Amino acid sequence: MFSPRSRLATGTVVALTATLGLSACGNKDGEGTAAESCVDTSGDSIKLGFLNSTSGAMAISEQTVRDSLSLAAEEINADGGILGKEIEFVTEDGASDPAIFAEKIDKLLTGDCVAAVFGGWTSASRKAMLPVVEANNGLLFYPVQYEGLEASENIYYTGATTNQQIIPAMDFLASEGVESLFLAGSDYVFPRTANKIIKQYAAELGIEIVGEEYVPLDDDDWTTQVAKIVEADPDFVFNTINGSSNVGFIKAYYEQGLTAETNPIISVSIAEEEAPAMGKDVTGQYAAWNYFQSVESPTNATFIAAFQDKYGAERPTSDPMEAAYTSLYLYKALVEKAESFEVDDINESADGVTFDAPEGTVTIDGDNHHIAKTALIGQINSDNQFDVVWSSESPIEPDPFLEGYDWWDPSAE
Amino acid sequence: MRTAVRTFGPLVAIAALAVLLLVVAPAVLSPFRLNNLGKYCCWAIAAVGIGLAWGRGGMLVMGQGVFFGIGGYAMAMHLKLEAAGPEGVPDFMMLYGDGTMPVWWEPFRSGAFTLFAIVALPAVAAAILGYAIFKRRVKGAYFAILTQALAVVFATLLIATIQETGGFNGLNQFTFFFGYNLYDPVNKKMVYSIAAALLIGCLVVVWQLYRSRFGELLVATRDAEERVRFLGHDPANVKLAAFVIAAVMASIGGAMFAPIAGIISPSDVDATASIFLIAGVALGGRALLLGPALGALAVGYGRSSLSESFPDQWTYFLGALFIVVILLFPAGLGSAFGRAAALVPLPRRKETTS
Amino acid sequence: MDSFTTPLLAGTATGALLLIAALGLALTFGQMGVINMAHGEFLMAGAYTAFLTQQVVTNADVSILVALPAAFVVAGLLGLLLEVTVIAWMYRRPLDTLLVTVGVGLFLQQLAKDVFGAQGDPVRTPSWLEGNLPVFGYHWPYRQMFTIVLAVVALAALAALLKYSSFGRQIRATVQNRDLAETVGVRTRAVDRITFFVGSGLAGIGGVAVSLISGTNPRLGTAYIISAFLVVVAGGLGQLKGTVIAAFAVGIATSFFADWTSASMAQVATFALVVVFLQLRPQGLFTVRSRGLA
């Protein structure tokens, strides 16, 4: 079989490939300049990209963000657009896969030449988009509460960072006289990081952590872990579980005789959408957010009316939806203050840009690109709405790296 | 003349693919599309290995994402350390841990060790697992299920080890690729070319394997394992070799995927990702030489373009692809169209398993 | 005592669930050599049936009793449909059936997402399953006991069917020697269809039990199916007792591992355990000589 001729032919193909491969030589000294922006601002419209997962495990949550982004775009267009230009939005599916998020944001920035991208939900999706948006000097608006410890020139974070949600929740627990706390979370980055902060702050506040349990994201059976909560009998349970796994947790919790009276739960990912999907009456349990549908303000009333008018009266509004809605309006305010769609111009004048959002007035911090938000603790009532039982009074300045908290030691366990 | 076509036809086809990927594509595609093509090439490299193990060897490997991941993470660890600089620690370890680096990360500072590991780690892992499975004559559906369970377990393990592997977020934010700045378009093109050249290289390797005595034995083992045993060969060794080669190819694909996609995370290596790798092989024709590679390129392209035009329907397409192709064209579309073009080393038997 | 009773009792309940899911798989695999990767989506169909039943029979106490037979029929019919439209065309290509059913599973998941929405739907627990029984410090939920009862009843019914009914004799004949069974007049194709109906129907019942743990969501089946497959692999083919022992062993082992380490590591350890076990018994616990499988 191995005739000299065939060897010669193989050799030729290999040599050919090698030559062709090497002909595309690299550039070792290059600094790697950011690609030229291809955003076209000459026409009557401005292109924006909406990048959310409409398939895969995260579609549950991200579809709601997509909905409120579309609503905000419609409203802004009806009101004359941004700097007189109509918003034209390009939608893409992130498919709940970080690598797809990286691919699609690249496509939006370099192929569709959008002026800004709105979306992402999991930290994984944001981390995946970060280098791409930085390399292209683009803009990303990220609308979800997250674990902090990040600030990029090219990202605006319109959800809460930890000092606007986790830490206020701990302040609330301390004010309630809580002495023991059990941590229950999904086994991934946000709960692990949040719990690291919680443990350090609890030590400072004199709250004892009596247990810590994690279950994989797609695992719904919490029975054995809840048994440990029963055994530890904590004053409160701090719940950082994500998505559908919450249902299994809540069911197991009630099944084993725990109640909101004996061992209440405070959650950071159960909102108006999730509460009725638990299949249990969760009245009396708590959640920490920066927005509830029950927030009483004219802006919020308008937002809820517009949302339910477009998507149906049975659809509740929730924190991430509000943060997404706000992000588009903040973008409009940023552009109009800078009088430019250029990223550098926008960043230049970003500090202090405000918007009268449904949650209250929010203000951009020009240094870390997060926004000042008021922290709220809500208690679930029998209509699956939240009654606000505690608030931080005034908006909390964002501090993603917790530099203003001397008990925080990032290198400690 | 016929023998010449039979012998060199495939080689000409490989050469044509080489010209297409290495000359035509860089000239006509935008940097974004070229980078995407690079990703498809990485999947195609893994697919070539699946073609060997499944198409020729009859072993339905449903967990190739694991080996793709071993290569991908090995490379990503090196790139992460390169970005951190000498003595530096990857950023996520300071964010999510106490900033100390696990000892087993240390050797990956060396580029040479990383390249060695990309080949050696999957080979050793596949050899151990394969030895345990094949020597005990576990085969068929049992084998397929075990490999799929392996992929599930591997992804769970990665997600749970946040401080060591970045967990669900995976590893990303690479700045250099062996000294070349990854933000420079010229260098991105170079990384693409390396992936494409490796794909061509893998095709040449399997072409030689299929022509060799080993290739004959492998097909014989697939079709009549007992007879091979009676003839004095140990089928376990033959299968083991094919499984190891397939694992190494998947690992090489993964290693190039990390710098091209700019990220490697559990979603790229889990059971779903493994199924996705198989889809291309089934589409292109599992037992053909070029079928798996072309199928993987097509499925990769389909995923990007279909999800752009029909964002919500991609899963339907993928599901339908499995149903229609396996039901109606078990030997793949390549087999239906390709024979006339002499892309096939003229198979002598019906190309189905069992 | 808790660190022993809790994993033991909770693990037994998990094992019961795995048993219901694995019985159907083992049945069809043993008889036809078909691995149905869409079996998890039949569990999902059962869970959605429980949800839909509650929309019609709003009394949660009663609806679960209606949901059980309804889910059996719904999932069974889905299985029958799959058998007739797809699997019947692929006899003697077991690996190919495996892949085709992967496609069917993907398709059904997306379909559920489009029909019911990606957000899961709640399934209320009947009041007679609320509460628990304290056993050595473990507040054993009635729901878990119910799952075990369900598994035992399903197992007993299936065993009786196989052992005493003429249909059961036909199934056993087909499993042992298909050609010979045909020669003596067993209509093996019809037997296959009914086996598929029963096997898939069992998954539907399992789905109702799962819906009591986690409500419904399109990805519900994927969480259980891999463990169920490991049970089939470890249990061996053609005999129910292998599946039974393997299901409870896997369920209880996973619970203990989870108690000692974490839920994530428990998955890893259980997989390792099955691989090591296969070194000792490559064909699983028990196996019946049948025509060659793939």
A360: left (phi over 0), alpha (psi -120 to 50) or beta: left
Q: Closest to A131 (Cβ–Cβ): which among B26, B172, B207?
A: B172
Q: Which residues lie across from A360 on neighbouring strands?
A: A357
For residue A41, give every residue at least 6 positions away whose Cβ sits within 8 Å of its Cβ, in sequence order, or none: A85, A115, A341
Task: Provide, as residue numbers in chain B, all residues whose Cβ is less than 8 Å from the Cβ of A23.
Answer: 22, 193
What is the interface size between B and C, counted as CB pairs within 8 Å? 122
Inside any domain, residue C269:
no
pLDDT > 60? residue B338: no
What is the interface size between A and C, counted as CB pairs within 8 Å? 113
Torsion angle, alpha carbons of C69, C70, C75, C79, to 10: 80
Closest CA relative to residue A249, chosen from A224, A231, A281 = A224
Q: What is the CA radius of gyration of chain A?
A: 24
Return the number of other C-beta atoms located less than 10 Å from residue A195's C-beta: 21
Chain-chain contact of B265 with A128 (C-beta, under 8 angstroms): yes
Confidence at residue B349, expressed as pLDDT on a 0 to 100 scale: 44
Closest CA relative to residue C224, chosen from A248, A311, A166 = A248
Confidence at residue B187, expressed as pLDDT on a 0 to 100 scale: 92
* B192, burial (CB in 10 Å: exposed 0-12, middle 13-18, buried 19+): buried
- Separation CA A207–CA A174 (nearest Å): 8
For residue C143, give every residue at least 6 positions away whose Cβ sits within 8 Å of its Cβ, in sequence order, or none: A255, C125, C129, C212, C213
Is residue A363 a contact partner of residue A300, using CB atoms and an 8 Å limit? no
Average pLDDT over residues B174-194: 91
Return the number of other C-beta atoms located less than 10 Å from residue B294's C-beta: 24
Q: Mark the ranges of chain A whose per-residue pLDDT is less than 70.
A: 1-25, 29-36, 413
Taking CA atoms, C127 is separated from A255, A283, A383, C132, C142, in Å, by 11, 17, 21, 12, 10
Confidence at residue B347, expressed as pLDDT on a 0 to 100 scale: 47
Q: Does B144 touch chain C (CB under 8 A)?
A: yes
**Residue A89 belongs to what H/E stretch?**
strand A86-93
Chain-chain contact of B265 with A99 (C-beta, under 8 angstroms): yes
Q: Closest to B321 (Cβ–Cβ): which among C98, C103, C265?
A: C103
Confidence at residue C292, expressed as pLDDT on a 0 to 100 scale: 44
Calculate how close chain A gets to C181, using CA atoms only, in Å. Answer: 43
Task: Provide, as residue numbers in chain B, all residues whose Cβ is less than 8 Å from the Cβ of A132.
Answer: 262
Average pLDDT over residues B307-321: 81
Calculate how close chain C gets to B138, using CA atoms only, in Å. Answer: 6
Confidence at residue A38, expressed as pLDDT on a 0 to 100 scale: 84
For residue C263, give every residue at least 6 positions away whose Cβ sits within 8 Å of its Cβ, in sequence order, or none: A187, A213, A214, A215, A216, A219, A224, A225
pLDDT tens digits, C36-75: 999 999 999 999 999 999 999 989 899 999 999 999 999 9
Interface of A with C in 245-274 (CB under 8 A): 245, 247-248, 251-252, 254-257, 273-274
Phi, psi dihedrals of residue B347, rounded to the nearest 5°: -60, 145
- Domain containing C36: what range? 2-223
Interface of A with B in 88-117 (CB under 8 A): 91-93, 95-100, 102-103, 106-107, 110-111
Interface of B with C in 146-165 (CB under 8 A): 146, 148-150, 152-153, 156-157, 159-160
Confidence at residue A33, expressed as pLDDT on a 0 to 100 scale: 53
Task: Provide, as residue numbers in chain C, all residues whose Cβ is less than 8 Å from the Cβ of A213.
Answer: 262-263
The C-alpha angle with vertex B67 and arms to B61 and B69, in degrees rounded to 5, equals 130
Q: Closest to B181 (Cβ–Cβ): which among A32, A127, A411?
A: A32
Neighbours of chain A (3+ CB pairs under 8 A): B, C
Q: Which of B54, B322, B324 to mutate to test the interface with C (most CBs of C within 10 A)?
A: B322
End-to-end CA distance of chain B: 34
Neighbours of chain B (3+ CB pairs under 8 A): A, C
Confidence at residue A21, expressed as pLDDT on a 0 to 100 scale: 57
Strand extents, DSSP E, C64-207 = 132-135, 138-141
As given in the structure block, the two tokens for residue C202 are 């069992």
Inside any domain, residue C240:
no
Is residue A280 a contact partner of residue A384, using CB atoms and an 8 Å limit? no
Phi, psi dihedrals of residue A378, rounded to the nearest 5°: -115, 150
User: What is the residue-level pLDDT of chain C in tens, covering all 294 positions?
Assistant: 467 899 999 999 999 999 999 999 988 888 888 889 999 999 999 999 999 999 999 898 999 999 999 999 999 999 999 999 998 888 778 888 889 999 999 999 989 988 887 677 888 899 999 889 998 889 999 999 999 999 999 999 999 998 999 988 998 888 888 888 888 888 888 999 999 999 999 999 999 999 998 888 888 888 888 899 999 989 987 678 899 999 999 999 999 999 999 889 999 999 999 988 988 888 888 765 544 443
Confidence at residue B352, expressed as pLDDT on a 0 to 100 scale: 42
Inside any domain, residue C90:
yes
Closest CA relative to residue C217, chosen from A56, A53, A252, B155 = A56
Distance of CA B70 to the CA centre of its chain: 11
pLDDT > 50? residue B178: yes
Taking CA atoms, C260 is separated from B2, C122, C263, in Å, by 66, 31, 9
Phi, psi dihedrals of residue A86, rounded to the nearest 5°: -75, 140
Is residue B56 a contact partner of residue B353, using CB atoms and an 8 Å limit? no
Number of separate domains in chain C: 1
Is residue B114 a contact partner of residue B78, using CB atoms and an 8 Å limit? yes
Helix (H, G, I), strand (E, B) or coil at A376: strand
Closest CA relative to residue A138, chosen from A103, A175, A99, A110 = A110
Chain-chain contact of C96 with B326 (C-beta, under 8 angstroms): yes
Q: Closest to B184 (Cβ–Cβ): which among A32, A412, A413?
A: A32
Lowest mean pLDDT of A318-322, B199-203, B230-234, C288-292, name the range: C288-292
Task: Provide, as residue numbers in chain A, all residues whose Cβ is less than 8 Å from the Cβ of C121.
Answer: 277
Inside any domain, residue C100:
yes
- Separation CA A260–CA C83 (nearest Å): 48
The residue written with tokens 């780690």 in the block is: B121
Torsion angle, alpha carbons of A326, A327, A330, A336, to 10: -130
Phi, psi dihedrals of residue B55, rounded to the nearest 5°: -60, -50
Confidence at residue A22, expressed as pLDDT on a 0 to 100 scale: 57
Q: Does A17 touch chain C (CB under 8 A)?
A: no
Inside any domain, residue C48:
yes
Q: Which domains does chain A have, with CATH numbers?
A: 45-160+296-372 (3.40.50.2300), 163-295+376-391 (3.40.50.2300)
Return the number of other C-beta atoms located less than 10 Å from residue B27's C-beta: 8
Chain-chain contact of A60 with C123 (C-beta, under 8 angstroms): no
Nearest residue of chain A to residue C143 (CA atoms): A255
DSSP string, B28-56: HS-HHHHHHHHHHHHHHHHHHHHIIIIII
Q: What is the CA radius of gyration of chain B?
A: 20
Closest CA relative to residue A104, chosen from B296, B311, B258, B188 = B311
Task: Provide, as residue numbers in chain A, all residues whose Cβ is less than 8 Å from the Cβ of C138.
Answer: 227
Confidence at residue B354, expressed as pLDDT on a 0 to 100 scale: 39
DSSP secondary structure letter of residue A398: P
Average pLDDT over residues B210-216: 92
Confidence at residue A411, expressed as pLDDT on a 0 to 100 scale: 81
Confidence at residue A303, expressed as pLDDT on a 0 to 100 scale: 97
Inside any domain, residue C144:
yes
Instruction: Please provide the size of chain C in residues.
Output: 294
Calculate how close chain A gets to B183, using CA atoms only, in Å. Answer: 5
Inside any domain, residue C92:
yes
Inside any domain, residue C80:
yes
- Separation CA B153–CA B145 (nearest Å): 12
